[in-house]
Amino acid sequence: MRKNTKYIHAGVHPDPSTGAIMTPIFQTSTFVQASPGDHQGYEYARTGNPTRNALENAIAELEGAKYGLCFGSGLAAMDTALKMLKSGDEVIASDDLYGGSYRILTKVFSHYGIKSHFVDMSDMSKVKEKINSSTAMLWIETPTNPLLKLVDIQAITDIGKEHKLINVVDNTFASPHLQTPMALGADIVLHSATKYLGGHSDVVLGALVCDDADLAEKLYFLQNSCGAVCGPMDSFLVLRGLKTLHVRIDRACENAMKIAHFLKDHKDVSRVLYPGLEDNPYHALAVEQMTGFGGMISFDLADESMESAHKVVSNTKIWALAESLGGVESLIGHPASMTHGAIPREERMAAGLMDGTIRLSVGIEDVEDLIHDLDMAILSLKK
Ligand SMILES: *Cc1c(COP(=O)(O)O)cnc(C)c1O
């Protein structure tokens, strides 16, 4: 099956009892047994639910992995992956991480004796410098949020493998449509399915996939033991979202490229971060590692103040000022005061996330409307 066919058919089969083409929402907590242990594969819905299992199989198949597990959120998925570690272990993570991922490492797992280092993963020597006998996991995000830096997945997972580390790639920004980290050496791929996989801003859900049976067994054990599973209705919504993943992302990429060029030519904009631009430092790697440049753009106004950024993000009419990304509707955000508010200012500035950086999640509306709306909001600074 080719990729564009898989989005429609992966993981799902007509319901055997009725022939329903869409996977039913199995809204049940338990499953009747004929005699103790005599059941049809399901006992209790934390352990397994057919709607969730269909989604788990679909996401695994799209990522080119054998095993899939779904959770109540992307962070619940991350929590589960991190629980494979023990006190004393260390994690090396990207220095330009999703704010919530940074928070769970520094404010939650730090209390359980798990130490995290944050490094610029575009520089392999910085990663190697931090590896010691306690290092157990590499936490890789690419493209990063919100600076759209790319990490060379093959190069970094090679280092991880050499040191027997668990390589985890957060593939939320790219989605399996643009990038499949399992093929580039990842041991585990994480998704906040809340974003592109769901795609309609109506559900919060997370996923992990992996290929190794031992790793899968550990993750299933944690999924069942800690219980951060997603419900059947939410699983259904993401299953439905997956069916249009390719169409939505292709349009978002197309729109984003036009918007990136518009911003680049705008005299009131000083910096545009989009890997699709030929002068972007990650352009060559993006061409090699991804099949498209994605729907996320960040930019700085020439006037770098927080006030101006606040004014622009508050003055758009089509772009909604909101956290999150990856939905059909376009969103605008101010990372320093929203998604990345938890990161200390000096640390964030050192990583290149400025007071005035604005982030766009490009949706699938008419691109001329999106450009006009941004133009008007930037013009509002002059009033
Ligand atoms: C949103 C997001 C998460 C967290 O996912 P939730 O579903 O919000 O818990 C993790 N990583 C990235 C890159 C994200 O954008």
| Among 96, 170, 300, 355, the one annotated catalytic | 170
Tell whether ligand 1 has an atom less than 6 A from the beta carbon of residue 179: no
Q: What is the pLDDT of residues 32-52, one digit of tens each?
A: 999 999 999 999 999 999 999
Tell whether ligand 1 has an atom less than 6 A from the beta carbon of residue 206: yes
Tell whether the model's pLDDT for residue 266 goes beyond 90. yes
Q: CB neighbours of 230 closer than 8 A, spacing ≥ 6?
A: 52, 70, 71, 72, 205, 206
Secondary structure (DSSP) of 34-85: SBTTB-SS-SBTTT--HHHHHHHHHHHHHHT-SEEEEESSHHHHHHHHHTTS
The model carries a pTM of 0.96
What pLDDT band is residue 342 in, cutting at 50, 70 and 90?
Answer: confident
Q: What is the pLDDT of residues 238-265, one digit of tens each?
A: 999 999 999 999 999 999 999 999 999 9
What pLDDT band is residue 348 in, cutting at 50, 70 and 90?
Answer: confident
Which pLDDT score is estimated for 67?
A: 98
In the chain, the domains with their CATH numbers are 3-242 (3.40.640.10), 245-382 (3.90.1150.10)
User: Distance of CA 166 to CAs 116, 119, 139, 169, 175, Å?
Assistant: 14, 17, 9, 10, 20
Q: Look up 170 and say whether it is catalytic.
A: yes
* 105 class by beta-carbon count within 10 Å (0-12 exposed, 13-18 middle, 19+ buried): buried
Q: Look up 251 and say whether it is catalytic.
A: no
Tell whether ligand 1 has an atom less than 6 A from the beta carbon of residue 116: no
Residue 205 Cα: closest atom of ligand 1: 7
Q: Name the residue with higher pLDDT: 203 or 146.
A: 203
Backbone angles phi, psi at 106, to 5 degrees: -85, -30
Nearest CA to ligand 1 atom 8: 74
Which pLDDT score is estimated for 93?
A: 97
Tell whether ligand 1 has an atom less than 6 A from the beta carbon of residue 167: no
Which pLDDT score is estimated for 383?
A: 77
Query: In angstroms, what is the span from residue 74 Cα to ligand 1's centroid?
Result: 5
Task: Give the tokens for residue 51.
Answer: 């709607």
Backbone angles phi, psi at 118, to 5 degrees: -115, 120
Tell whether ligand 1 has an atom less than 6 A from the beta carbon of residue 74: yes
Q: What is the mean pLDDT of residues 56-72?
A: 98
Q: What is the mean pLDDT of residues 310-327?
A: 96
Which pLDDT score is estimated for 145?
A: 84
What pLDDT band is residue 339 in, cutting at 50, 70 and 90?
Answer: confident
Query: In angstroms, what is the span from residue 200 Cα to ligand 1's centroid?
Result: 15
| Among 3, 42, 46, 220, the one annotated catalytic | 46
Q: Look up 248 and say whether it is catalytic.
A: no
Tokens 């996977």: give the residue.
Answer: 23
Q: What is the mean pLDDT of residues 107-124?
A: 95
Backbone angles phi, psi at 213, to 5 degrees: -65, -40
What pLDDT band is residue 89 in, cutting at 50, 70 and 90?
Answer: very high
